[in-house]
Structure 1
Amino acid sequence: MQRTNKFNKVYAWQLATIFLGFIVFGISENIKGPAIPRIQFDFNLNEEQLGSLLSLNALGYLIACSFTAVLVRKWGIKAASILAFASMLISGVFIFVSHTYSLFAASYFLMYIGNGMLEIALAILGARIFVKNTGTMMNLSHAFYGLSSTVAPLVATGVMSVQLFGLTLDWRGMYLVMLALALLPILTALRSSFPGDDLPSESRLPFKELVRDPALWWMVLILSFGVVSELAVGGWLVNFLEKAYHWSTVKASGMLSIFFLLFAIARLLLGPVTDRIGFTFSLIIFSGFSAICTFVAIVGGEQWSFLFAAAGIGIAMIYPTVMAFIAKRYPRGSDTAITFTVTLMGLGSVIGNYVIGFIIEMVKKLYGEGDSVGLLRGLQAGYGFIGLCALLCAVCGCILYWYLKKRGELI
């Protein structure tokens, strides 16, 4: 009985760290929606420069993904997780004091270093801990990302208007307050112990064997297209609705929150579906649904804008389902497979954000810089790229399904 209680207590601290980690991750990723128009105004950035800023941050994310696995092997998953949270906490302080663009860009870059480290750490933790009902538990843990992402834009909008000692917090103070929440998972991680760090090197699946598997490369493409489609919404939806349809920041942030509410509900409720119908088939169905919603919303105009939010139902399932697939297919090499897949996915994010900004600016120039129709068409074209990524995700899923079915290896 005492042993069972001890096990439950250990597992409870592990779950608390993972769930709080995803909450902080969702907040840090998605408070930028309402902040970006103000950052753009304060530093006088055009859309292409804004896309370049987001791509630079995605590069920091990519760099962190590439070295986090080394830290996990040398120091353990616990230390790597705490370091990730601490870097986000520190970046909030630096963002608060940044009044030059160079200092702000460096501080923002540091935040994405922390995000990249946390991405790998949480994925490894999930793969090690969720050995039963993997799809359900992966989606449940990632649902906390969706829940925090749901409230993050509205809370961020509210915090930016808070006055303290006669001064308005604005977007700098908002980042400080929201990123300070990283202290909570630091405390739970300190109380936790995590499995897998003592696995002998000879028991791990060799890297060369992993990269020879075509299924892993298709997973890289699926995850890259899926995550570009997911993360781009947080960075561009508010901007799109404000400039294309002249929505207020509060109304546009509300639509982003609905996107993440549906995103969270999908992960809470649809995880068992992925276990039942299979991870590969799930990727095709859900990414295809997201692509259809996005394209119909763009073509249909403002009256169909609710479909931008509905797309969250489909795109929500991509990342956790890929992680569940990797945990099942590579039980002895999940750490390496996750690091490899997520690092290459980060490269896709770098390119994706830049491409969106470039497309918007290119189409605007075709119509003329001051043309309001040109701005609308540019925003539609840029957001159309997000839908295209979801569609390509579904196409790659179909190819992977065919490849695995032919070999009798469907998961």
Structure 2
Amino acid sequence: MPDQIAGPDRATQPLLQPASAQYGGISDTDATPKPPWPTHDQHHIHHDGVSTTKGKTLRIAAAMFSFSAMGLLLSTIGLMLPALEAHYRLDDAQVSLIFTVAPVGYILATCLTGTIHARLGRRGIALVGPALQLLATVGAGLHPGRYEVFVACLGVGSVGIGLLDGAWCSWAGGSMGGAANTVSGLLHGSFSAGAGLGPLLGGLVMVQGGLEWFVWYYILAGVTVIEGVVLAIAFRNDTAQKYLEERAYLVTELSNGAEDESTSLLNGPSDTDDAGPAIIAYENGIEQDSRGPAKPTAHHSFSSSSARAILTHPVVWICAAFLLVEVGVESSVSGWVVLFLRRARNAPVQLAAAGSSAFWIGQAVGRLSLGPATDRYGLQRAVTVYLVGVVVFGIAFALLGLGQQGGEDGEEQQRSSSSAKLSVALVALMGVFCGPLFPSAIVQLTSALPRELHVGAVTYVAMIGQIGGALLPVCIGLLIQRLGIETFPSVVVVQIVLALGFWLLFPVAVKGEARRDERESLRA
């Protein structure tokens, strides 16, 4: 089945295009047709006199601001670990509980998003999401007496982030027509900008401003208020009726046997960047992918029978194992690097915060810049090189602090400062090569599976990735509590080597899927 088993070069087209194609414009080959259903975005003047172009531009700008706010919120976790340990008198194992809030919040958002869309429309998401974020930031700013309550507050905010993430990505993929890829790139670029600035700005508040750590959460609360106002204005006309009309059109088309046409209508070039944690949500049977455009399912649900069919494919298990480790590595580095730089490399607060920012910015640079190399050399070979690059820079990061003890105090302090600065640079390079890993795995998976299994398979492996994003940082917290913070880089290197091992198993699984399809076609 040539359409289902694509070669590496072809497989990279949807997700790992050159930056000019992915974010700067849409070519004739990957342009997505505009939705034929009547919407407020097409040939329509709103009752308030706002034209189509102005209304769409406002919504895009509002969604971009929302993604920037999400980046600020999520990147704050790593920055706050040292302050939380000091304030709540926690050890490394206890403070690692904070890493569980984002995946749990996203899972809860998955359960709620369909109901909110159906009853309140996108403007309901525009109100509920920022409201939950506001509750979380105000609650965290009040620095409750118990750490568990503080973590619960952040969990409320994670639900809001999950709702907004999935809603705006699915909206961009399903309502932007040929501009879906460009708009999706703008959204995830905005997230990267917010995530990169978050630790730096938070560090400035605490160091230059001389303020307590929890004041940063009050500043974030102000950002969420602005976010809520902007989103409420931009999506004020996106009612439940409008959403249901769009969904009804898709269901009608699918029931009439137009599945392929509808899928091509909404699928478009997918942007599966890892801007922080993101999973697949469902809105009454229509996939809402927080990493890319929405796609209708063939049967309008992820049934138990389809789940069993998906799990019979070894490539799904390999991809799930790879993402379990890969997402865990990203969460571990961005979460623990600030504490590591301060404690093991004696970095000042501002420089340690720059370490987290450097990793986020490095990921964005990697996603934008490595697409052409992936297209040229092929997905399997290119990602293998990327993983080896992460291992090399990870080893250099781990070895950097060795042999730096001894000498006069002034010389030791100078060496420590140089080591911390070089550590930040190495973390940034690790981020560059980590950037394309998640979308590459999704491309490799979907290129090996029949089209009708794509939705369920991507849902499953993305969920496993979220588990890794919570589990591995917690495990690192337990290890460094027992063995010391100096073990952090070594553990990260081991995890990356494990991810490389899983990636090298992909070709065997892909060939097995091809042989399986040949046997099934012969029996048919």
Q: Common fold, TM-score beyond 0.5?
A: yes
Which residue does the alignment assign to 1:150? 196
Once residues 23 and 47 of structure 1 are traced to their aligned partners in structure 2, the CA distance between those partners, rounded to angstroms, is: 29
Amino acid in structure 1 at the alignment position of 2:472: G
Q: Is the 8 A contact 2:331 2:473 kept in 1?
A: no
1:181 aligns with 2:232: no
Which residue does the alignment assign to 1:269? 369
Once residues 454 and 234 of structure 2 are traced to their aligned partners in structure 1, the CA distance between those partners, rounded to angstroms, is: 25
Secondary structure of 1:32's aligned partner? helix
Once residues 213 and 393 of structure 2 are traced to their aligned partners in structure 1, the CA distance between those partners, rounded to angstroms, is: 31
Instruction: Give the counterpart of 1:226 among 326, 346, 351.
Output: 326
Once residues 191 and 180 of structure 1 are traced to their aligned partners in structure 2, the CA distance between those partners, rounded to angstroms, is: 19
1:396 aligns with 2:502: yes
Structure 1 residues 254 and 336: CA distance shift in structure 2, 3 A: same
Deviation at 1:331, TM superposition (A): 7.5
Deviation at 1:147, TM superposition (A): 1.9
C-alpha deviations, 1:190-241, integer Å up to 9, x for none?
A: 5245986443185623424366333444333333322211122221101001
Unaligned runs of 5+ in 1: 364-377
Once residues 88 and 98 of structure 1 are traced to their aligned partners in structure 2, the CA distance between those partners, rounded to angstroms, is: 16
Instruction: Give the counterpart of 1:381 among 480, 487, 492.
Output: 487
C-alpha deviations, 1:351-393, integer Å up to 9, x for none?
A: 1121001111222xxxxxxxxxxxxxx3232333333333333
Larger Rg: 2
Which residue does the alignment assign to 1:318? 437
1:104 aligns with 2:201: no
C-alpha deviations, 1:1-42, integer Å up to 9, x for none?
A: x94996655653454344333312211111233322111101
Structure 1 residues 89 and 270: CA distance shift in structure 2, 3 A: farther
C-alpha deviations, 1:309-359, integer Å up to 9, x for none?
A: 210101122344456678887877876555443333222222112100111
Which residue does the alignment assign to 1:371? none
Which residue does the alignment assign to 2:81? 36
Secondary structure of 1:171's aligned partner? coil
Amino acid in structure 1 at the alignment position of 2:298: L
Which residue does the alignment assign to 2:413? none
Aligned pairs for 1:162-177 within 5 A = 169-177=211-219
Amino acid in structure 2 at the alignment position of 1:26: G
Q: Is the 8 A contact 1:84 1:114 kept in 2?
A: yes
Of the structure 1 ranges 326-335 and 352-361, higher mean CA displacement relative to structure 2 is found in 326-335
Q: Is the 8 A contact 2:196 2:357 kept in 1?
A: yes
Aligned pairs for 1:288-307 within 5 A = 288-301=388-401, 302=419, 305=423, 306-307=425-426
Q: Is the 8 A contact 1:123 1:323 kept in 2?
A: no
Q: Is the 8 A contact 2:109 2:162 kept in 1?
A: yes
Of the structure 1 ranges 282-291 and 245-254, higher mean CA displacement relative to structure 2 is found in 282-291
Which residue does the alignment assign to 1:245? 345
C-alpha deviations, 1:233-265, integer Å up to 9, x for none?
A: 221101001111111111211232222232222
Instruction: Give the counterpart of 1:258 among 351, 355, 358.
Output: 358
Aligned pairs for 1:206-221 within 5 A = 206=299, 207=302, 208-209=305-306, 212-213=309-310, 214=313, 215-221=315-321
Which residue does the alignment assign to 2:263? none
Q: Percent identity?
A: 19
Instruction: Give the counterpart of 1:61 among 102, 105, 125.
Output: 105
Structure 1 residues 122 and 390: CA distance shift in structure 2, 3 A: farther
**Backbone CA RMSD of aligned residues:** 3.8
Amino acid in structure 2 at the alignment position of 1:307: L
Q: Is the 8 A contact 2:173 2:181 kept in 1?
A: no
Q: How many residues align?
A: 389
Unaligned runs of 5+ in 2: 1-41, 46-50, 260-296, 402-418, 516-524
Instruction: Give the counterpart of 2:461 among 317, 337, 341.
Output: 341
Q: Is the 8 A contact 2:394 2:493 kept in 1?
A: yes
Q: Is the 8 A contact 1:138 1:321 kept in 2?
A: no
Of the structure 1 ranges 134-143 and 301-310, higher mean CA displacement relative to structure 2 is found in 134-143
Structure 1 residues 20 and 324: CA distance shift in structure 2, 3 A: farther
Higher helix share: 1
